[in-house]
Every structure is written in C-alpha cells, then in structure tokens.
Chains A and B, each alone.
Chain A
Amino acid sequence: MAKRKSNLRGREGIAGWVFTAPMIVILGVFLFVPVVMALWVSMTNWRGNVDPFGGGPNAAFVGAKNYTALFLQDGLARSNFMQSLGNTFFYVLFVVPLQTATSLLLALIVNDRFLRGKSFFRTAFYFPSVTSSIAISTVFLFLFSNTGAVNGFLKILGIDGPQWFSDSRGLFHLFLGLFGADNPGWAQGEIFGRSLWDWLSGPSVAMCVIIILAVWTTTGTFMLMFLAALQDLPVEVDEAAMLDGVSPWQKLRLVTIPMLKPALFLVTTLGLIGTWQVFDQIYVMGKGAPAGTTMTPAFLSYTTSFRSNGWGSGAAMAFVVFLIIVLLTWWQRHIMRDDKTPGRLRRAFGAANLMRSHRGTGKTP
C-alpha cells in the first residue's frame, strides 16, 4: 500500500504542475510581467517612440518624478489628477450608500414569503447587471439627452430638465448657492493645489447621470446577495423577537441588520472596489467632459497614456489608483472586522435577549 501511495503522490506532484502550467504561463506573462514593466515605465519619461527598456534620452529613468508631479508639483498633471480624485470621492459617496440601501430595500420586500411574482421581479432587477456597460451607456446617452426621455418626463411634471451632459455645475455648489455662497473667502485655502471650494463642489450634473447609471446597474446583483443572506437567517431568532411583540421597524434595526453584517460588508467592499474602476461608461459618455467633471483617475490614466503619449505619468496614475483601492479595502476590513461571522449567531441571540430584558419579562432563551 505504501508504495502505491507514494506512487500516487509522485504522480500527483507532476500532474499538479502540468495542470497549473497554463495558468502560470498566461497569468504570469499577461498579468504579472506587464505590471512590472509598467512599474518601470512609470519611473521613466517615456513618450512612446523608442524602446522603453533601452534607456536613452527618450526613455530615461526619472525615479519618482511622475508620482511627485501628481501630488506636489503645481501643474496640469496635478490639477487634472486632483480633479479626478475629487470626482471619484463624490461618486463613491453617492453610489455606495445608494446602491446598498436600494438593494437592501428591494431584497427585504422581495423576501416576503407571500409575495407573488418573485422571480419576475428578480429577473427585472438583475437583468441590467448582465448586459454590457457600453450598451447600457449608449441607451442612457439617449435617455438623458437634452430632448430625451428623462427631460420629457420632467416636462410632464412641469420641471425644465437640465442639459445633463453639458452641465458641469456641482450639486453641492448649487445647494450652497441657494444660501448665497459662491466661492466664499473661507473656501479659498488650497489642498494639493485645488481650492477648498472646488473640493466641495459635489458631483456635477453630468456625473449624476453616471451615478444613476451605476446604481441602476449594480442594484440587482447586490439584491441577490442580500436575498441569499436573508434566506439563510435562522428563523428561531426572528420568531423569538416576534413573540415579544417587537415592532417590525425595531426588528429590522436591532435584529435583521446586525445579522446581515457579513452581507453588508461584502456589498460595501465590492461597491468600493467597483466604483474606483468605472471606465467604460466614461468612455461612452463624454470621456471626462464637461469641464473634466466626469474624469476619473483610471480614465485619466488611459487618456494621458494613449492620447497624450505621457506613458510614464499614466502608468504612475494607475499605480496610485491601485494603492488607493488596496488601502480602502484594508480600511474597510478593519472597520468591520469584529462583525465577522463566528459570533454572529451569538450576538443575534444576545440582541434578542437585550430586548426582552428591556421589557422586563426576565425570560432567558
């Protein structure tokens, strides 16, 4: 038996390497090596004509100059990059909570045992996630055009819709403008070369279209995840809470949502990662127009490299985006770490207990 076993192990060893060889080759050659190449290019001043690995004046090593130009050097590279960062902050700020809340709401409603037409609704909400982002963006270009469906609908309500794609005014600016604030003195301080007033602009009207598009597309996927999580919830806790006449709102707040923490964590993490990668939609819906208010760092990296031939700078931007996403994911995990699964059930019972003791019945589970 032993000889057979060692034979098996031996064969497994070789087979293991053969089976994973394609993966190693393809992922190595087309993912790992290119990233290293790009890292090198990000530290040169290469403008695309000569061999980037050959040295010489058109591919000279410049160290971290491309990176510092994005943060510390007054100039177009920094102002474009900072604007794109600002745009993305607002994009994330709006998209992640909106998509989480909407998908949770829909999941809670659809989860009702006696609801009819469940699979129809599931299909309807999930379908947009499946289609190509390019195709969807094209449709939204039409819907939000100056004489499109959205403005037509608003006209029925008596509202004169904005020119969605050419309006670069920020939402927060418009809101603050209601109180008469317009580039006030207290907002003149500069952070990384951009005035505080500019940082507070909020998403532009054009960016709002992309926000709506993002929420519309991703809600279905996240709704499904919440549904799966809801269906996995043990019913005993629910019934226990019910017996004590807890109101549905309290139950939602104190029992259901805490038990959904893992799913919430997952949805927000995916949301954070996803929002920093928005690209296709920007390409179709204006490539950063109007006035650079729909520019994102990822797309800026693309235009800097492929259009302006500033490959070094573009590569540097891509790595900065990478770093930001990694940091965000770590921070996210850290924040929600103590709510990870093992103690979930215990905590849920604990919550139910707490509510009971509030009412003073003194019963133990």
Chain B
Amino acid sequence: MRSRKTRHATVALTLGAVGALVLSACGGGGSSFGGATKSQAAGPAKLTIMIGSSGDAETNAVKAAADAWAKKSGNTAEVIVASDLGQQLGQGFAGGTPPDLFYADASRIGDFAKAGNLFAYGDQVQGENFLPTLVKTFTYDGKLQCAPKDYSTLALVINTAMWTAAGLTDADIPKDWAGLESAAKKLTKGKVTGLVIGNDINRGGAFMKQAGGWVVSDDGKTMTADSPENLAGLQEIQKMMKAGSLKFNTDTSPAAGWGGEAFGKGIGAMTIEGNWIKGALTKDYPNIKAKIVELPAGPAGKGTLMFSNCWGIAAKSAHQAQAVDLVKFLTSVDQQLAFTKAFGPMPSTEAGIAKFKTDYPDDAAFAAGGDYGQGPVNLPGFDPVMAAFNSKLATLGKGGDPKAMLAELQKNGTAAIAAG
C-alpha cells in the first residue's frame, strides 16, 4: 500500500496538470479573432493563394505562374484549390487565417470590403491600365479594392456538326430572339435539346439584359428587378422551354453539371457559356467542334454578362507587400496571355486585350462582349438575395412564375440595400 503522502502527491499532480491544460487553452493560447496584423518576418515569405478552379487546366496554369514568381522573387507561393471558395474564404476570414491572395468574385467585393477583409491596394497598381468597366466593378467606397485578374463574357456556343446536320448555314446564325427560337427548334431532335443553359441568373440574366432590364440601377442605389423588361427576358426563356427547345442543365436527361457538360456530351446542340468553355472542350470533349458567336440581340439590343475575379489581398495577411508584387507579376501582359492560353479568360488590361484580339480572332465574339457586358451585382448583403432568386429561377421550366420571382427579388433586394 502506498503511503498517503505519495497518493496525495499523485493526485495533486494530476489535478495540477489538468488545471494547467485548462488555463493554457483558455488563456494565451493565441485567440485568432481580430488581432493585429502579424509583422512580416525577415527572409523568404510563404504566401498562400486560394483559387476556385474550373478544372485542371486552370489549376496547373496558376501553379505554374506561382512557381515562376517564386523563382524570380525568392519567396514561395502555395496554391490551394477550394472546393467551395465562398465558404472557405468565410471560414478563413472568421478564423483569422485567410489566404494571402485569393480569387475575389465581383459579386462579393461589397461584402468583403464592408467587413474589412480586404487590403485595398488599388492605388499601387494604377499603372497597369485596367479596363474601365472592370475598374468600376471592383470599386467600393471610392477605392479600387483589388486588381481585376481577367474577365469573360457569355457567348453562344454552337455544335457545328449538329448545325450542319440540321441543314442550317451561316445565314441562320441567330441575330435576334426569333432567330434563336427557330435555330434551337430545328436543332431539337430526339434526345438532343436545341439550347441547354445554366439555371441561374448568370445565364438567364443575359436575356434580361437583352430585353433592356437589369437587377439594379446603374448607380447601384435602387432595385429595378420587377421591371417589365426583366419580365420579358424571363418570359422568353419560358417560351422556348415550352416549345421544348431550351432546357436548364438540371432538367436534361441525363442531367448535366453545367451547360458546358451538356454541350460536350451532345445533350445540347448549343449552349451559352463563357471563355472557360474552350479549355473544358479541349480537355474533356476534344471531339466536339464548336463555333462561338455573339449572343442574339433582344428587343433592346445586344446584351451579355461579364464575369470577373480580382486578386484579393487579405487585410490580415502578413505579406501584403509581397502579395502586391505577385499581383503585378500576374497581371503583366505575358502572364495574362499565358492564362488565356491555358483556360481561356481574357486579359483585364488594355494592352492585354488588344493583344488578345489579334491573337485569337476566333474569340472575337467573347471580346466584343466586353463593350456591352453587364457585371454582376456587387453590393454588400446580396449574396443570400441572389441565392434565393437563383433557387427560384431554377424552377422556371417546371411552372415557376417569373413575375413572382422578380417581385420577390425586388423586395429582398430593397431590404438589403436599405440595410446596406
């Protein structure tokens, strides 16, 4: 039998250890909320870059660029592909460990800037001459928050084999809605649907724009969702759905993950997609020959949507200076054209886009969209509003009521702007 003293000592020791554990955990364990920016240590910096990739082509291209810069500058840059960029960025911001550099979608700029997550370095990259429409998209509170990295527009992608098999020629390339309807009808046969598009505003919105409407006013201060023009745009989609010549990618048999997949698998003869479809076609569906033309004009003229990400730098990043340097490297004309070559988006600088137009005449349709394209809504607090609208829009083919959808969007958007 151990002596009382020894037993007491053991017990005391155990309790002490447990107590110490508790104290160390609660106390200076390093709460990661808020906290000042850690000062950068001397020596090579390790940067993390978080991207939302459209596929292997993009991932590899970004990795190659990061490595090239790393070699040049003596730092390291690790590329992380997010499976859910929005959620992972949110977690990173809240958790205090955001990536140094990340894709920031135009629609989230307001949210990020308002919450103070971005380091607005726009003044440091003025010399790059970004396209004015893009600068506008990424300006919040009067400051350019981040450097636009590229942009894409939507165009009409046509399966040339099915086109000629249906007896259509270049003269039949749709220039307006009537032309689109008849072409899609001719291309719908058997299991193939004439036009298969994505089921949210990032595709359907093109129709709204062509009819002359959009979700918010040009200055972003009022909601214009329930305008008759928007209704006309959505009704056009519904009209073609009723005729059987247009389907959302989730409604086809088999369902496709996105419009490009439906196109590549021959489920749809045409689709409306952006520059990224070129990379996907080359890699996943090399046997499909596609022709890219501008979207047909609607009652109010031509309309397309523009998508862009910028290189966001985290306000909490410890390597902001190096990150800005990396951004300058990534937005140089050569690097941007390398990205273009790998997965298709167009350069965001004037110099870059000029060179693009000469190098890629086939993509003239995409480039032309830059002149009349509409960027996404970038006001803070709109993420749930657009998500709710998108989820309703997806039911358009199943008896959804476009008037009600737009009314709800109007209501929610107005509330969000007011909360703004």
Partner of A49, one of B25, B94, B253: B94
Asked if A12 is at the interface (CB within 8 A of a chain B CB), the reply is no
Given A21-B14, A166-B255, A309-B90, verify A50-B25 contact (CB < 8 Å). no
Given A166-B255, A307-B86, verify A292-B388 contact (CB < 8 Å). yes
Segment with Cβ contacts to A, from B15-23, B38-46, B290-298, B337-345: B15-23
Asked if A52 is at the interface (CB within 8 A of a chain B CB), the reply is yes
- Alpha-carbon gap, A29 to B21, bound state (A): 11
- In the complex, which residues of chain B have a beta carbon less than 8 angstroms from the beta carbon of A309? 90, 93-94, 111, 115
- In the complex, which residues of chain A have a beta carbon less than 8 angstroms from the beta carbon of B91? 306
User: B15 to A21, Cβ gap below 8 A?
Assistant: yes
User: B11 to A49, Cβ gap below 8 A?
Assistant: no
User: A166 to B394, Cβ gap below 8 A?
Assistant: yes
Asked if B243 is at the interface (CB within 8 A of a chain A CB), the reply is no
- In the complex, which residues of chain A have a beta carbon less than 8 angstroms from the beta carbon of B117? 49
User: B392 to A307, Cβ gap below 8 A?
Assistant: no
User: A167 to B412, Cβ gap below 8 A?
Assistant: no
What's the least CB distance linking A57 to chain B, in Å? 10
User: B254 to A147, Cβ gap below 8 A?
Assistant: yes
- Alpha-carbon gap, A159 to B15, bound state (A): 68
Partner of A291, one of B93, B251, B395, B412: B395
- In the complex, which residues of chain B have a beta carbon less than 8 angstroms from the beta carbon of A163? 250-251, 253, 255
Partner of B116, one of A15, A18, A58: A58
Interface residues on A, range: 35 or more
What's the least CB distance linking A12 to chain B, in Å? 12
Asked if A63 is at the interface (CB within 8 A of a chain B CB), the reply is no
What's the least CB distance linking A134 to chain B, in Å? 14
User: A49 to B116, Cβ gap below 8 A?
Assistant: yes
What's the least CB distance linking B244 to chain A, in Å? 15
A53, A75, A147, A309 — which one has the most chain B CB atoms within 10 A of its CB? Answer: A309
Asked if B242 is at the interface (CB within 8 A of a chain A CB), the reply is no
- In the complex, which residues of chain B have a beta carbon less than 8 angstroms from the beta carbon of A17? 15
> B84 — nearest CB in chain A belongs to which residue?
A307
User: B14 to A18, Cβ gap below 8 A?
Assistant: yes
- Alpha-carbon gap, A198 to B127, bound state (A): 55
Residues A6-59 near B (CB distance < 8 A): 11, 14-15, 17-18, 21-22, 25, 29, 47-54, 58
- Alpha-carbon gap, A74 to B418, bound state (A): 13
Given A76-B412, A290-B394, A309-B90, verify A166-B111 contact (CB < 8 Å). no
- Alpha-carbon gap, A96 to B133, bound state (A): 55
User: A49 to B391, Cβ gap below 8 A?
Assistant: no
- Alpha-carbon gap, A292 to B388, bound state (A): 8
- Alpha-carbon gap, A165 to B248, bound state (A): 13
- Alpha-carbon gap, A304 to B90, bound state (A): 11
User: B34 to A291, Cβ gap below 8 A?
Assistant: no
- Alpha-carbon gap, A2 to B239, bound state (A): 93
- Alpha-carbon gap, A166 to B21, bound state (A): 51
- Alpha-carbon gap, A163 to B251, bound state (A): 7
> A160 — nearest CB in chain B belongs to which residue?
B253
User: B250 to A51, Cβ gap below 8 A?
Assistant: no
Residues B1-26 near A (CB distance < 8 A): 7, 11, 14-15, 18, 21-22, 25-26
Chain A 268-309 interface 0/1 with B at a Cβ cutoff of 8 Å (1 = within):
000000000000000000001111100000000000101111
- In the complex, which residues of chain B have a beta carbon less than 8 angstroms from the beta carbon of A54? 33-34
What's the least CB distance linking B371 to chain A, in Å? 33
User: A145 to B87, Cβ gap below 8 A?
Assistant: no
User: B87 to A307, Cβ gap below 8 A?
Assistant: yes
Given A29-B25, A76-B384, A291-B392, verify A14-B34 contact (CB < 8 Å). no
- In the complex, which residues of chain A have a beta carbon less than 8 angstroms from the beta carbon of B250? 163, 165-166, 290
User: B383 to A21, Cβ gap below 8 A?
Assistant: no
> A163 — nearest CB in chain B belongs to which residue?
B251
> A167 — nearest CB in chain B belongs to which residue?
B398
Given A50-B34, A307-B90, verify A288-B391 contact (CB < 8 Å). yes
- Alpha-carbon gap, A241 to B148, bound state (A): 82
Asked if A146 is at the interface (CB within 8 A of a chain B CB), the reply is yes
> B22 — nearest CB in chain A belongs to which residue?
A25
- Alpha-carbon gap, A146 to B257, bound state (A): 12
- Alpha-carbon gap, A74 to B391, bound state (A): 20
Asked if B385 is at the interface (CB within 8 A of a chain A CB), the reply is yes
Given A145-B254, A146-B253, A166-B248, verify A51-B33 contact (CB < 8 Å). yes
- Alpha-carbon gap, A306 to B254, bound state (A): 32
User: A168 to B25, Cβ gap below 8 A?
Assistant: no
Asked if A169 is at the interface (CB within 8 A of a chain B CB), the reply is yes
Asked if A353 is at the interface (CB within 8 A of a chain B CB), the reply is no
What's the least CB distance linking B259 to chain A, in Å? 14
Asked if B27 is at the interface (CB within 8 A of a chain A CB), the reply is no
Given A146-B255, A311-B94, verify A58-B395 contact (CB < 8 Å). no
Asked if B354 is at the interface (CB within 8 A of a chain A CB), the reply is no
- In the complex, which residues of chain B have a beta carbon less than 8 angstroms from the beta carbon of A51? 31, 33-35
Residues A111-129 near B (CB distance < 8 A): none
Given A76-B412, A307-B86, A309-B111, verify A49-B93 contact (CB < 8 Å). yes
Asked if A80 is at the interface (CB within 8 A of a chain B CB), the reply is yes
- Alpha-carbon gap, A311 to B31, bound state (A): 18
- Alpha-carbon gap, A32 to B391, bound state (A): 37
> A47 — nearest CB in chain B belongs to which residue?
B115
Given A146-B253, A309-B94, verify A168-B11 contact (CB < 8 Å). no
Chain A 316-331 interface 0/1 with B at a Cβ cutoff of 8 Å (1 = within):
0000000000000000
Asked if B168 is at the interface (CB within 8 A of a chain A CB), the reply is no
- Alpha-carbon gap, A75 to B255, bound state (A): 33
- In the complex, which residues of chain A have a beta carbon less than 8 angstroms from the beta carbon of B385? 76
Residues B280-306 near A (CB distance < 8 A): none
User: B388 to A80, Cβ gap below 8 A?
Assistant: yes
Chain B 239-263 interface 0/1 with A at a Cβ cutoff of 8 Å (1 = within):
0000000001011111100000000
Partner of A168, one of B111, B398, B416: B398
- In the complex, which residues of chain B have a beta carbon less than 8 angstroms from the beta carbon of A146? 251-255
Asked if B167 is at the interface (CB within 8 A of a chain A CB), the reply is no
User: A58 to B87, Cβ gap below 8 A?
Assistant: no
Chain B 381-405 interface 0/1 with A at a Cβ cutoff of 8 Å (1 = within):
0011100100110110011100000
> B418 — nearest CB in chain A belongs to which residue?
A75
Chain B 86-117 interface 0/1 with A at a Cβ cutoff of 8 Å (1 = within):
11001101100000000000000001000111
- In the complex, which residues of chain A have a beta carbon less than 8 angstroms from the beta carbon of B199? 166
- In the complex, which residues of chain B have a beta carbon less than 8 angstroms from the beta carbon of A310? 384
Q: Mind listing 12 A-B residue pairs with CB under 8 Å?
A: A22-B18, A47-B115, A48-B90, A79-B412, A146-B253, A147-B253, A147-B255, A163-B253, A165-B250, A166-B199, A291-B391, A309-B94
The 5 lowest CB-CB distance pairs between A and B, nearest first, are A48-B94, A51-B34, A51-B33, A166-B250, A147-B254
Instruction: Enumerate chain B interface residues (CB-CB to A < 8 A).
Output: 7, 11, 14-15, 18, 21-22, 25-26, 31, 33-35, 86-87, 90-91, 93-94, 111, 115-117, 199, 248, 250-255, 383-385, 388, 391-392, 394-395, 398-400, 412, 415-416
